[in-house]
């Protein structure tokens, strides 16, 4: 599904990622853990194509294609989805209108028929219900005035609707209380499938109690310094990141 | 006197005898107004209110000799309001065209005429002759008083409601100047909705000069929705003066799209308590277009509310200007006055001038004003693209949303949808006019 080889990335003059190797097969959930400033968010942005990051060495292959050669929206339409740590507020665009525009943009890009209003509404309601997202919330401007929990549920709804093949969850647990975390985690778990891979980026082990990963990587100083099974996350909870050259957070 | 002012004065000298009302009181008013205009000349940028729009210079570029009567067929452009059932009054080159208008079956108590038909009536005289403050902004109305040839006159009697909207269509078929005056008198409790379309229908270089004099009696209600979509080498000048008695409700929305240059002024004055004015607008400009909006609200009495929001999108090397002033007079306690202007610059060459002003002489009031000028949010574009929208569609969605927040203030559902469609078309023309 995804193969990252010797990836070096700089922002401005600063090298943030210093040789990342990562291979994720279809259906796998990989957690990337690490202290603040280790390059976790940079990795999520470089995968989704955000401007301002320069790849100086290495490659990323997604389903056999050169991901770095694709634009932001080409990646999205090919099935890459980034769930934002801080979803952006879009005043004047209702959540419903946004979801419909995004879904139809992707369907169109894939040569599929666009959904009409009736079919779309039926679909979005069926996906919104398990996430406790009401019609009222769908009528509000996207993320504007949403609580932390509402924003993350809205991100999960987008993921559920767009059915990506590679979902990157960037600090999805930040700003969530335990109840909201459970709702979001249930939503994410419902999307686990043999065809879908996920990268779960988190500072804390807490999220991984609910979204249990197949593989855990520790990112520190721009490199993956340790890789293990789900028990690695629990070890980290005990020891912190100090042994990897970072201050305990 | 500069070339442009001279042409306008010559127009008057040549046409004076043939202008409507030439034998009555209006001739005296015209001569007086012309003399004042000739003395002051066209406003220029050293006049504070015209600082960003130098009429003296800009009018040199358009044809000012009075446009001819156009009696033949007109290529009627499609109008945004067409789909709605309306009374329709059509002016071509500023003159009434009965054959293109549909004014049949007006309700009892509604009088709707071309201007020339009402000039002998007292109510018309009162509206036209009303003394405005004659400051830097209103002085230009003299030009219209001297040269106005036709227009729309609407009077609605006490308590009568105009049962469907009135659509005033103003078409420029031939090059030259067109000076029109519209009068609206709504008596106590009367109500009406007026749509206005300003469009080019064959003319290329022309000057539209229009003044609307509006008086709303106690508890009267007027909703206006205007579309200004002129031709590529035009100058559109319009001034709207509205006086509101107690409890009156006035809404005016203007969408400015197509023309090369426009200066649109509104002067709202509260005469009675508890009246409300909502003067809003939006514009989307590209190429070398210019649009200057001047918005003056005079809270002369207590307990009135005014609310203004103007949103401007500028692409290419277009220039937008918003000058707003809310004055709260010493007795006008409990005033609620709000004014906001926001502009979005889509290119490095576009520019926006904003000058919101508040003058408050009372102490128990709620007033707010503000102005923002910015670019599209790059994070928002990234977010939308990360969901699959291409860059063009992402930008378009954000710009539409920005304008929509102003268009949302149009109370009439059909008109709001109609103007949204006009905005959507603006994007389709992208690249065509740069």
Summarised one tens digit per residue, pLDDT across range B309-324 is 999 999 999 999 999 9
pLDDT of residue B132: 64
Out of B388, B397, B400, whose CB is closest to A73? B388
Shortest CA distance from A78: residue in chain B: B388
d(CA B76, CA B199): 9
pLDDT of residue B23: 83
The ipTM is 0.95
Query: Which of B66, B51, B3, B22 has the alpha carbon at shortest distance from B209?
Result: B66
Whole-number percent of chain B with pLDDT over 90: 88
Asked if the model's pLDDT at residue B106 lies above 90, the reply is yes
Asked if the model's pLDDT at residue A201 lies above 80, the reply is yes
Residues in chain A: 249
- Judging contacts by C-beta atoms under 8 Å, the chain B residues touching residue A88 are 377, 379-380, 382-383
How does pLDDT run across B139-197, given as a tens digit for each residue?
Answer: 999 999 999 999 999 999 999 999 999 999 999 999 999 999 999 999 999 999 999 99
B385–A102: do the CB atoms touch at under 8 Å?
no
pLDDT of residue B130: 82
Asked if the model's pLDDT at residue A234 lies above 90, the reply is no
pLDDT of residue B225: 98
Nearest Cα of chain A lies from the Cα of B194 at a distance, in angstroms, of 27
Residue A240 pLDDT level (bands cut at 50, 70, 90): confident
List domains and CATH numbers for chain A: 2-244 (3.40.50.300)
pLDDT of residue A246: 56
How does pLDDT run across B238-294, given as a tens digit for each residue?
Answer: 999 999 999 999 999 999 998 899 999 999 999 999 999 999 999 999 999 999 999
What is the arithmetic mean of pLDDT over B35-45? 93
Query: Which of B251, B311, B341 has the alpha carbon at shortest distance from A92?
Result: B311
Nearest Cα of chain B lies from the Cα of A155 at a distance, in angstroms, of 11
Asked if the model's pLDDT at residue A249 lies above 50, the reply is no
**Residue B409 CB neighbours (<10 A):** 18
Secondary structure letter of residue B94 according to DSSP: T
pLDDT of residue A248: 41
Strand (E) or helix (H) holding B190: none
What is the arithmetic mean of pLDDT over B74-95? 92
H-helix segments, B207-279: none
pLDDT of residue B67: 93
* Candidates A53, A74, A93, A166, partner chain B, best to mutate (most B CBs within 10 A): A93
What CA–CA distances, in Å, run from B151 to B120, B328, B410? 15, 33, 25
pLDDT of residue A165: 96
* Candidates B311, B374, B380, B387, partner chain A, best to mutate (most A CBs within 10 A): B387
Query: Which of B213, B168, B210, B167 has the alpha carbon at shortest distance from B186?
Result: B213
- A82 interface with B at CB cutoff 8 Å: yes
What CA–CA distances, in Å, run from B22 to B12, B25, B288, B404? 12, 8, 40, 46
Nearest Cα of chain B lies from the Cα of A102 at a distance, in angstroms, of 6
- A114 interface with B at CB cutoff 8 Å: no
Q: For the stretch B160-169, what's the b/e string if a residue is b when 16 or more beta carbons lie within 10 angstroms of its beta carbon?
A: bbbeebbbbb
B391–A106: do the CB atoms touch at under 8 Å?
no
Instruction: Indicate the average pLDDT of chain B.
Output: 94
Query: Which of B148, B163, B26 has the alpha carbon at shortest distance from B91?
Result: B148
How does pLDDT run across B16-25, given as a tens digit for each residue?
Answer: 999 998 888 9
Q: For the stretch A137-169, what's the b/e string if a residue is b when 16 or more beta carbons lie within 10 angstroms of its beta carbon?
A: bbebbbbeebeebbbbbbbbbbbbbbbbbbbbb
**Residue A246 CB neighbours (<10 A):** 18
Residue B430 pLDDT level (bands cut at 50, 70, 90): low
Asked if the model's pLDDT at residue A202 lies above 80, the reply is yes
Query: Which of B10, B167, B174, B194 has the alpha carbon at shortest distance from B95?
Result: B174
Residue B432 pLDDT level (bands cut at 50, 70, 90): very low
Residue B122 burial by Cβ neighbours in a 10 Å radius (0-12, 13-18, 19+):
exposed
What is the arithmetic mean of pLDDT over A188-200? 94
What is the arithmetic mean of pLDDT over B40-66? 92
Asked if the model's pLDDT at residue B129 lies above 60, the reply is yes
pLDDT of residue B377: 94
d(CA B271, CA B274): 10
Please indicate whether residue B434 or residue B153 has the higher confidence score (pLDDT).
Answer: B153
- Judging contacts by C-beta atoms under 8 Å, the chain B residues touching residue A90 are 380, 383-384, 398, 401
- CA torsion sign for A116, A120, A121, A122 is positive
Nearest Cα of chain B lies from the Cα of A141 at a distance, in angstroms, of 10
Shortest CA distance from B376: residue in chain A: A90
Asked if the model's pLDDT at residue A134 lies above 90, the reply is yes
Q: At what angle do helices A95-109 and A148-162 cross, to 10 degrees?
A: 30
Strand (E) or helix (H) holding B372: strand B366-374
Residue B433 pLDDT level (bands cut at 50, 70, 90): very low
- A169 interface with B at CB cutoff 8 Å: no
> What is the three-state SS of chain A?
CEEEEEEEEEECCEEEEEEEEEEECCCCEEEEECCCCCCHHHHHHHHHCCCCCEEEEEEEEECCEEHHHCCHHHHHHHCEEEECCCCCCCCCCEHHHHHHHHHHHHHHHCCCCCCCHHHHHHHHHHHHHHHCCCHHHHHCECCCCCCHHHHHHHHHHHHHHHCCCEEEEECCCCCCCHHHHHHHHHHHHHCCECCEEEEEEECCCHHHHHCCCCEEEEEECCEEEEEECCHHHHHHHHHCCHHHCCCCC
What is the arithmetic mean of pLDDT over B288-313? 97
- Judging contacts by C-beta atoms under 8 Å, the chain A residues touching residue B388 are 73, 76-77, 102, 105-106, 109, 162
Asked which of A26-35, B2-11, B295-304, B423-432 is least confident by mean pLDDT, the reply is: B423-432
First and final C-alpha spacing in chain B? 34
Asked if the model's pLDDT at residue B108 lies above 60, the reply is yes
pLDDT of residue B15: 93
pLDDT of residue B355: 94
d(CA A111, CA B218): 60
H-helix segments, B101-163: 122-129, 141-147
d(CA B375, CA B315): 11
What residues of chain A, 30 to 59, have a C-beta less than 8 Å from chain B?
A: 48-51
Which are the contacts of A17, defined by CB distance < 8 A and separation ≥ 6? A7, A8, A9, A39, A42, A43, A46, A222, A223
What is the arithmetic mean of pLDDT over B365-388? 95
pLDDT of residue A245: 65
What is the arithmetic mean of pLDDT over A29-57? 92
Residue B224 pLDDT level (bands cut at 50, 70, 90): very high
- Judging contacts by C-beta atoms under 8 Å, the chain B residues touching residue A114 are none
Residue A233 pLDDT level (bands cut at 50, 70, 90): confident
Residue B431 pLDDT level (bands cut at 50, 70, 90): low
Shortest CA distance from B402: residue in chain A: A92
pLDDT of residue B120: 87
pLDDT of residue B434: 38
DSSP string, B8-77: HHHHHHHHGGGSTTTTSHHHHHHHHHHHHHHHH-S--TTSGGGTT--HHHHGGGS--SBPPP--S-----
């Amino acid at each position: 599904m995804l193969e990252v080889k010797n990836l070096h990335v700089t922002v401005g003059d600063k090298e943030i990622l210093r040789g990342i190797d990562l291979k994720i097969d279809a259906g796998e959930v990989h957690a990337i853990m690490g202290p603040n400033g280790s390059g976790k968010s940079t990795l999520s942005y470089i995968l989704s194509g955000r401007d301002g990051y320069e790849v100086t060495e290495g490659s990323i292959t997604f389903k056999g294609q050169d991901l770095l050669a694709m634009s932001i929206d080409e990646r999205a339409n090919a099935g890459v989805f980034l769930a934002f740590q801080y979803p952006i507020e879009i005043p004047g665009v209702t959540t419903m209108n946004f979801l419909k525009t995004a879904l139809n943009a992707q369907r169109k890009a894939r040569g599929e028929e666009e959904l009409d209003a009736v079919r779309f509404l039926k679909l979005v309601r069926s996906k919104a219900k398990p996430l406790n997202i009401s019609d009222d919330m769908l009528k509000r401007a996207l993320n504007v005035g949403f609580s932390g929990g509402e924003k993350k549920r809205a991100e999960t709804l987008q993921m559920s609707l767009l059915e990506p093949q590679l979902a990157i969850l960037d600090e999805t647990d930040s700003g969530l209380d335990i109840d909201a975390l459970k709702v979001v985690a249930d939503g994410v778990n419902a999307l686990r499938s043999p065809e879908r891979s996920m990268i779960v980026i988190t500072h804390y082990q807490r999220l991984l109690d609910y979204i249990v990963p197949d593989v855990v990587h520790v990112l520190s100083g721009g490199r993956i310094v340790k890789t293990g099974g789900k028990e690695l996350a629990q070890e980290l909870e005990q020891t912190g990141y100090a042994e990897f050259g970072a201050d305990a957070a | 006197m500069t070339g442009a002012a001279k042409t306008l004065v010559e127009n008057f000298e040549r046409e004076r005898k043939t202008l409507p009302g030439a034998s009555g009181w209006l001739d005296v008013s015209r001569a007086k107004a012309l003399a004042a205009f000739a003395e002051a000349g066209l406003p220029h940028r050293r006049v504070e209110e015209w600082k960003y729009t130098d009429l003296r210079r800009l009018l040199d570029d358009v044809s000012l000799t009075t446009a001819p009567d156009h009696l033949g067929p007109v290529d009627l452009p499609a109008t945004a309001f067409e789909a709605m059932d309306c009374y329709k009054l059509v002016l071509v080159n500023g003159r009434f065209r009965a054959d293109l208008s549909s004014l049949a079956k007006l309700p009892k108590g509604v009088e709707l005429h071309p201007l020339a038909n009402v000039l002998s009536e007292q109510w018309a005289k009162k509206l036209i002759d009303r003394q405005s403050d004659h400051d830097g902004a209103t002085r230009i109305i003299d030009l219209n008083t001297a040269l106005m040839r036709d227009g729309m006159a609407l009077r609605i009697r006490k308590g009568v409601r105009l049962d469907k909207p009135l659509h005033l269509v103003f078409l420029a078929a031939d090059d030259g100047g067109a000076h029109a005056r519209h009068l609206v008198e709504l008596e106590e409790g009367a109500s009406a909705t007026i749509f206005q379309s300003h469009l080019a229908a064959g003319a290329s270089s022309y000057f539209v000069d229009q003044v609307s004099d509006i008086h709303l009696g106690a508890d009267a209600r007027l909703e206006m929705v205007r579309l200004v979509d002129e031709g590529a080498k035009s100058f559109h000048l319009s001034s709207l003066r509205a006086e509101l008695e107690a409890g009156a409700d006035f809404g005016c929305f203007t969408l400015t799209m197509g023309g090369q240059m426009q200066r649109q002024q509104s002067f709202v004055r509260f005469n009675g308590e508890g009246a409300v004015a909502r003067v809003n607008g939006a514009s989307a400009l590209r190429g070398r277009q210019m649009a200057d909006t001047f918005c003056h609200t005079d809270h002369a009495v207590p307990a009135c509310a005014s609310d203004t929001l103007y949103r401007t999108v500028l692409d290419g090397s277009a220039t937008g200007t918003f000058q707003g002033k809310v004055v709260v007079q010493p007795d006008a306690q409990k005033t609620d006055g709000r004014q906001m202007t926001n502009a979005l610059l889509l290119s490095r060459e576009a520019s926006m001038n904003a000058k919101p002003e508040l003058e408050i002489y009372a102490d128990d009031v709620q007033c707010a004003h503000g102005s923002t000028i910015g670019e599209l949010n790059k994070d928002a574009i990234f977010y939308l693209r990360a969901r699959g929208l291409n860059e063009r569609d992402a930008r378009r969605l954000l710009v539409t949303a920005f304008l929509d927040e102003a268009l949302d203030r149009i109370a009439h559902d059909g008109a709001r949808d109609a103007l949204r469609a006009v905005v959507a078309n603006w994007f389709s023309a992208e690249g065509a006019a740069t």
